[in-house]
Amino acid sequence: MNNSETTPPSTDIEALGIDVIRGLSMDAPRAANSGHQGTAMALAPLAHVLFTRIMRYDAAAPHWADRDRFILSCGHASILQYAMLYLTGYGLTLDDLRDFRQWDSLTPGHPEHGHTVGVEVTTGPLGQGFANGVGMALAEQSLRERFGEDVCDHHIYAIVSDGDLEEGVSHEAASLAGHLRLGRLVYVYDQNHISIDGPTDLALNDDVVKRFEAYGWHVQDLGESAEDLDALESALIAAREHEERPSLVVIRSHIGFPSPDHTDDPAAHGLAFDEADISATKAVMGIPDEPFWVPDEVLEYYRAAGSRGSVARIDWEQRSAAALSGRSAEWDATLAARPLGADWADALPSFGPDDSPATRAANQKVLNALDPLVPGVLGGSADLTGNTGTRLDDTEALQPDSPGGRQVHYGIREHAMGSALVGAALHGGVLPISGTFLVFSDYMRPAVRLAALSGAKCVFVWSHDSVGVGEDGPTHQPVEQVMSLRLIPGLTVIRPADGNEVAGAWKLAVEGNGPIALITSRQSTPTLAGSESLALEGVARGAYVLDAADSPQVVLVGTGTEVAVAVEAAEELRSSGTAVSVVSMPCWEAFEAQEPAYRKSVFPDGVPVVSVEAGVTSGWQRWADASVGIDRFGASAPGSKVMAELGITAEAVAAAARNLLS
């Protein structure tokens, strides 16, 4: 049952509640001497309508799987979301609002998923929340098609701003959502005509209505209705019921309203209100000039709204239990993006000495082996499905007429694809996978950073991992990308050396948490002797001794296809009597998490180390005494020729080892 079915028309308590939201939106930034109050004040009526008349949620059960999702894409207005979470009973207190933007508080400057209960996605970098919602809609649709509406049947609501719609990622995401007809998306565009520098017409004169209609969205332009609760409610209900297309509701709001001095003032975007401004605005509203004033009747009103959804939740629990009869294990595994069965990894393929696939080709084989074992897999790529080894063989493409398809064609939209993966992962119910070339990870970097910050469990597959790409030349040959990705805290970067390490990478991804960067090669590479028995555990530990000497004089360590180069260099050194161990190091982050004794067993004290990786050498100083790499851009020629000319050879590695030993 929708909340709107039992909500009376606008009342005095609603008007008072909106004034309280506006008061809190001024008080918290003032107390912090930092923050954004103007947008929160202008959107107080909209937030009130969403949380009391429209959205289906139960504040006492914030992780209920079939709740509506809410995204504040303009995350700088976070005090608006925190005020609603406090008022409706998600667990925030007035003291939390008083601690706005302070160390270790639950109310940071921008909403952070996993930090504050009720925050669905981490927002702040404009446009990201918009695209996250598209990923959430993909996850909702996937669950609904798989398990039925008695199990999954909800909407994704978002507030988006001028800044969100200016960022390019919103264009990509809106185009994709319109093409796929993701009808569970309901976005409200706050058109306040204000940016930090001044009026938005300094840089923006888009016709947003025509733009979104061209994308295939259902658009309602409400004009001057930001204060009209009933008009907002009617438009949102119409949007919710229009499930053939995503919906955009456009409202003209006035930043800083009802301030007598700062309404429609660009300064109201930031911290414009001093004590006198707050007092004057509260006088206009007719509420006490008292910081963080919340009368009991207002709190009771909102707490009742926050608990109203418990009826729907309990009803859902009963309906879903019946609908999931005999499928509860599948539902639990899907919702958690986990495998079915404890021995699932036994079904992963292994590769023998006669196999020498490119690791992207091995990825294709491993992915299709685990697909039936991990029920939440949602594959996809940016127009490079076959090239990146991310094709799911036993599913159809996701299209408007096949909404149950699990192969998403994102098109050439890397920005939106990355952000959608984050949203889908945080929604739950899918293990989202993307594929594109490693050099284009630069397009995805904002989303990857937020995936790491929010702990989103998704897999970014990036192929064509080095100058081995060859003839496409330096524009398509990554050299700095692998190392730059390793700099992101919370991102697990895996560069497997052969097919067996690809299998180990997927085992780590499926059984772990958080985002994975899986980096694969275009060129073929031999299956390494010993990897068939060592790789699963070795990848999980991040690095392992692939080829051991009893008392090594030098250790050669590599990643990806360059491990084979290290093996060849070791053979050359051994021919002249040097004792050499070879280490494969597919994942720095996993290795750093190992106990010191294990790390010393891989890199013994006092034994010099030479690294080889077809990328920049900066960073390898942490593990190696000398490094063979590429500290320049590549060149257009066959991949093997480029590798040789730029020094990624066994001879160069052996020479570096001899120099160390001498």
Q: Which residues are catalytic?
A: 414
Tokens 């009026």 appear where? 199
d(CA 186, CA 428): 19
What residue has token string 């004792």?
579
- Closest of 429, 402, 384 to residue 137, by C-alpha: 429
481 CB burial (10 A radius; 0-12, 13-18, 19+): buried
State the burial class of residue 238 (Cβ atoms within 10 Å of its Cβ: 0-12, 13-18, 19+): middle
Helix locations, 99-228, DSSP H: 128-147, 162-166, 168-180, 208-215
- Nearest-Å Rg of the Cα atoms of the chain is 27
Q: What are phi and psi of 209, to 5 degrees?
A: -60, -50
Other residues' Cβ atoms within 10 Å of the Cβ of residue 322: 9
Rounded CA gap, 431 and 456, in Å?
A: 10
Q: Which two tokens stand for residue 268?
A: 């109201």
Distance CA 37, CA 364 (A): 50
In the structure encoding, which two tokens stand for residue 82, read together?
């925190």
How many Å separate Cα 381 from the centre of its chain? 15
End-to-end CA distance of the chain: 78
State CA 89 to chain mean position distance. Answer: 27
- Contact (Cβ atoms closer than 8 angstroms) between residue 215 and residue 174: yes
Distance from C-alpha of 117 to C-alpha of 85, rounded to nearest angstrom:
8
Residues 6+ apart with CB under 8 A from 586: 494, 495, 496, 497, 501, 504, 505, 538, 539, 542, 543, 559, 560
How many Cβ atoms from other residues are within 10 Å of residue 617's Cβ? 17
Structure letter (DSSP) for residue 393: T
Cβ atoms of 175 and 199 within 8 Å: the answer is no
Q: Is beta strand 580-584 parallel, antiparallel or unpaired with respect to 544-547?
A: antiparallel
